[in-house]
């Protein structure tokens, strides 16, 4: 049967081109047409030399967006199934990030999603990069991450310790009245578990480390499974052999970090 004269039947080459425009490439390019500054490349190298962890402080306008894209681009080399959530404080930055990604990446437009500012996209269904406004992310992102099957990537970081201080990560189920603990104050209590024991690196500890279970898996292995919607509290105590750190009466030979509360979505 002949097609009507006003019908257009896509050719095989057209179908292939459309598929290429919507499929996510195996290898991401997020900095096309850009040349990273030396300091940006050094930051990226240092982050990966430190087991993909660290805190980067950059002044306004110096190139944080491009630096972050360079880190994500390199991460995807190791994880071809990488999904990325970018959290920004305002809708202006939401659209700015989307514009930069559109200009400098080889990902199709369908790979980008927006959350906040009237948008309600989710990871999955072809969306691999989700750009979120902070207010919307705080309410919706944990459930989105869980639904997409990329949850439980929480990292805890304690800084300001001695260079190679032996450190113990505490998890508790409750907040208690401040209790003198070494040279600091412990406020984590309830059902206590020691999740990890590691030495700090240059005064900073980040967990879990290579070979460790994830935080929720380690908690479950220690007979404290974390139910959806429940909250856990964390502090790190570490060796500090200077007993004269505190004024008279002199203190002890260990100290403790600030605490943090985490409400789990899984």
Helix, strand and coil in the chain, % to nearest 5: 30, 25, 45
CATH number of 156-263: 2.60.40
- Cross-strand partners of 32: none
How far, in Å, CA of 66 to CA of 69, rounded? 5
In contact, 120 and 149? CB cutoff 8 Å: no
Per-residue pLDDT of the chain (266 residues; tens, 9 = 90+): 333 333 344 444 444 444 446 789 999 999 999 999 999 999 999 888 876 766 788 888 888 889 999 999 998 888 888 888 888 889 999 999 999 999 999 999 999 999 999 999 999 889 999 999 988 887 887 678 767 776 566 889 998 888 899 999 999 999 999 998 888 899 999 999 999 999 998 888 998 887 787 888 788 888 888 877 889 999 999 998 877 766 656 668 889 999 999 988 75
How far, in Å, CA of 148 to CA of 132, rounded? 15
Q: What is the pLDDT of residue 21?
A: 60
Q: Is the pTM of this model over 0.75?
A: no
For the chain, first and last CA: distance in Å? 56
Question: How do the domains of the chain map onto residue ranges?
Answer: 26-82, 85-151, 156-263
Q: What is the pLDDT of residue 79?
A: 81
- Cross-strand partners of 167: 198, 238
Q: What is the pLDDT of residue 245?
A: 64
How far, in Å, CA of 32 to CA of 103, rounded? 8
Q: What is the pLDDT of residue 14?
A: 43
Q: What is the pLDDT of residue 152?
A: 65
- Cross-strand partners of 207: 156
């Amino acid at each position: 049967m002949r097609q009507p004269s006003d019908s257009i039947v896509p050719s095989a080459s057209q179908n292939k081109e459309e598929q290429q425009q919507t499929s996510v490439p195996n290898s991401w390019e997020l900095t096309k047409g850009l040349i990273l500054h030396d300091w940006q490349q050094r930051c990226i190298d240092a982050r990966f030399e430190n087991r993909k962890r660290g805190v980067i402080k950059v002044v306004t306008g110096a190139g944080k967006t491009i630096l972050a894209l360079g880190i994500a681009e390199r991460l995807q080399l190791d994880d071809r199934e990488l999904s990325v959530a970018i959290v920004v404080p305002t809708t202006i930055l939401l659209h700015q990030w989307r514009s930069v990604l559109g200009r400098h990446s080889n990902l199709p437009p369908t790979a980008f999603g927006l959350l906040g500012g009237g948008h309600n996209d989710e990871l999955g269904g072809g969306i691999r990069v989700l750009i979120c406004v902070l207010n919307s992310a705080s309410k919706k992102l944990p459930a989105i991450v869980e639904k997409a099957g990329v949850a439980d990537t929480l990292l805890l970081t304690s800084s300001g310790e001695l260079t190679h201080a032996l450190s113990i990560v505490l998890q508790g189920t409750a907040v208690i009245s401040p209790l003198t603990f070494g040279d600091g104050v412990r406020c984590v209590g309830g059902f206590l578990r020691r999740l990890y024991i590691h030495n700090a690196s240059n005064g900073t500890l980040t967990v879990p480390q290579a070979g460790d279970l994830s935080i929720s898996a380690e908690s479950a292995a220690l007979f404290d499974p974390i139910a959806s919607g429940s909250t856990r509290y964390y502090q790190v105590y570490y060796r500090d052999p200077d007993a004269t750190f505190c004024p008279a009466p002199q203190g002890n030979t260990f100290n403790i970090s600030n605490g943090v509360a985490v409400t789990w979505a899984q």
